[in-house]
Amino acid sequence: MQSEYAFYRPLSRETFNLIMYKVFGLNPLPFHIVNFGFILSNIYLVYKLMGKIVKDKSASFLAALVYAVSSIHSIELFYLASVQTLLASFFMLLSIIFYINFRSQGNNFFFLPALLAFILGLASHETAIVLPGVLILIILFLRKKGQKIVDLRLYLPLLPFLLTGAFYLLSTSLLSGMPEQKVYQPIFSIKGVINSLSWYTLWSFGMSEIFADFIGPKFSIHPSLMKYYGQYTVVSVAMLGILLSILAFLSFQVRKVRADWRPVILFGLSFIFALFPFLFFPQHKSSYYLTFSTVWFSSFLASILFSGWRISKLSRLTVILFLIIFGALSYQTVKLNHLTYWAAKRAPAAKYILSDIKITYPHPGKGSIFYIKDDPEYPFIAKEWGSSSKQAFYILSGSDALKLLYLDPTIRVYFEGMGIPLDADLTKAIQYTAKFPY
């Protein structure tokens, strides 16, 4: 496979989009419904998985509840391409459940479904490559009393998973064929890893992704943060402080009664391991990559909350307070995401531009050339943000949107803000000024 196809997602991208487009065309609603359906399915699978690991329905319900309330799901609904990580997480959860059944029941019937689900996960999104590592952690947690960690019999059934993962890495050129853009280049730095892990943890607690745009190295805060999002910042930071304080209090209470910390450790390590591939890309951090990790973060929180719930009335009250504040913080972030998340803002802009172009130029002719110009009244936001035509380039995915709109793969589109090729002939180009409804 050629290196430019490093991101190999035939099930969730090519196959899924082909079927959806053939059935529903450009109507986005069915795509949103499918994403929502996978979110609901994953909530149920979190409940089932937690039950097989901790063997307690109340703890399972708590984990599913925390997962369901997470603000990460708003990103998965706004950004339709999140079906890729949702589908991968769905198959990974199925694979883990099947594998636990295989190990606990000694029934080989569950082994092939576990392996098949892993393969389907890899065909959905490359994040599934972390599954064998997570399975190792679960195996160590569920091993029989007295069974040594170095006992090879624990790991031999995982060999097909490891070989499948190795074949996937080699056949898709994922290791050597990453895109050339700077943001896709890994940085092997302890400082960078800690920075990335910190942001992913904050987002998992429910903090908004926009903070990463305003807070730089050494916690330098851009004044625009308080200017535009001051109220949200104050409220969300206060809520986060309360959540951390409650977790610290419950952890202290749990430690006093010498409760079993192994589930907390398992879920904490699984959260980190699920994020491991993304920790080396500090310039490409995104809450989009938290779909599978959120499963383990929710289970991590639920383990502490459930252990604290069984100690005293005061602990129960703090658990209830935690859930209320966690839900309130998630709600605040969901509202902010609706206003600021790029996918949420670009959707109405894309609809507006495409509708206007279609009305203005209903039949442009095969092989037409479009030249998207800057709007002179478009406000300056930042150098990196650029002009209106630069934003149109990202909103329309280059020439892809117009090719799809007119069903003409020969259409060429140039954008003033992205530079014009020297050999481009614009004398017969259809000129259009990029304006937005916001």
Look at residue 360 and tell me if it is in a domain.
yes
Let me know whether 45 and 166 are in one domain.
Answer: yes
Let me know whether 136 and 166 are in one domain.
Answer: yes
The token duo for 80 is 């339709």
Let me know whether 376 and 261 are in one domain.
Answer: no
Question: DSSP 3-state assignment of 210?
Answer: coil
Look at residue 143 and tell me if it is in a domain.
yes
Look at residue 227 and tell me if it is in a domain.
yes
In this structure, are residues 52 and 100 in contact, taking their beta carbons and an 8 Å threshold? yes
In this structure, are residues 43 and 67 in contact, taking their beta carbons and an 8 Å threshold? yes
Let me know whether 216 and 82 are in one domain.
Answer: yes
User: By residue range, what is the domain housing residue 426?
Assistant: 346-433
CB proximity list for 42: less than 8 A, separation 6 or greater: 67, 86, 89, 90, 93, 295
pLDDT at 39: 98
Type of residue found at 61: F
Buried b (16+ CB within 10 A) or exposed e, 299-332: bbbbbbbbbbbebeeebeebbeebbebbbebbeb
Look at residue 109 and tell me if it is in a domain.
yes
Let me know whether 160 and 265 are in one domain.
Answer: yes
**Domain boundary residue among 318, 340, 362?**
340
Give the span between the Cα atoms of 237 and 254, in whole angstroms. Answer: 26
**Domain boundary residue among 297, 315, 340?**
340
| Bridge partners for 431 per DSSP | 371
Let me know whether 133 and 162 are in one domain.
Answer: yes
Look at residue 126 and tell me if it is in a domain.
yes
Let me know whether 13 and 107 are in one domain.
Answer: yes
pLDDT at 423: 82
The token duo for 176 is 């050597």
Q: Which helix (H) or strand (E) holds 262?
A: helix 262-275
Helices and strands, counts by H and E, the chain: 17, 3
**Domain boundary residue among 295, 313, 340?**
340
Let me know whether 149 and 175 are in one domain.
Answer: yes
* Domains held by the chain: number: 2
Question: DSSP 3-state assignment of 197?
Answer: helix
Determine the straight-line distance between the first and last CA of the chain, rounded to whole angstroms. Answer: 42
In this structure, are residues 87 and 133 in contact, taking their beta carbons and an 8 Å threshold? no
Let me know whether 147 and 270 are in one domain.
Answer: yes
pLDDT at 412: 94
Let me know whether 336 and 428 are in one domain.
Answer: no
The torsion angles phi and psi of 409, rounded to 5 degrees, stand at -70, -10
What is the per-residue DSSP string for 90-130? HHHHHHHHHHHHHHHH--GGGHHHHHHHHHHHHTT-GGGGG
The torsion angles phi and psi of 164, rounded to 5 degrees, stand at -65, -45
In this structure, are residues 76 and 35 in contact, taking their beta carbons and an 8 Å threshold? yes
Look at residue 8 and tell me if it is in a domain.
yes
Let me know whether 61 and 108 are in one domain.
Answer: yes
Output the pTM of the full model: 0.90
Give the span between the Cα atoms of 135 and 377, in whole angstroms. Answer: 55
Per-run averaged pLDDT (10 residues), the chain, 438 residues: 61 93 91 97 98 94 98 96 97 98 90 98 96 96 83 91 94 64 76 94 96 82 88 97 97 82 95 94 90 98 94 94 98 94 86 94 94 91 80 92 94 92 86 86
Q: What angle do CA 46, 56, 95 make, to 5 degrees?
A: 35
Let me know whether 257 and 276 are in one domain.
Answer: yes
Look at residue 438 and tell me if it is in a domain.
no
pLDDT at 284: 83
Give the span between the Cα atoms of 395 and 386, in whole angstroms. Answer: 13
Residue whose tokens read 């959540």: 243
Look at residue 367 and tell me if it is in a domain.
yes
| Bridge partners for 369 per DSSP | 412
In this structure, are residues 364 and 357 in contact, taking their beta carbons and an 8 Å threshold? no
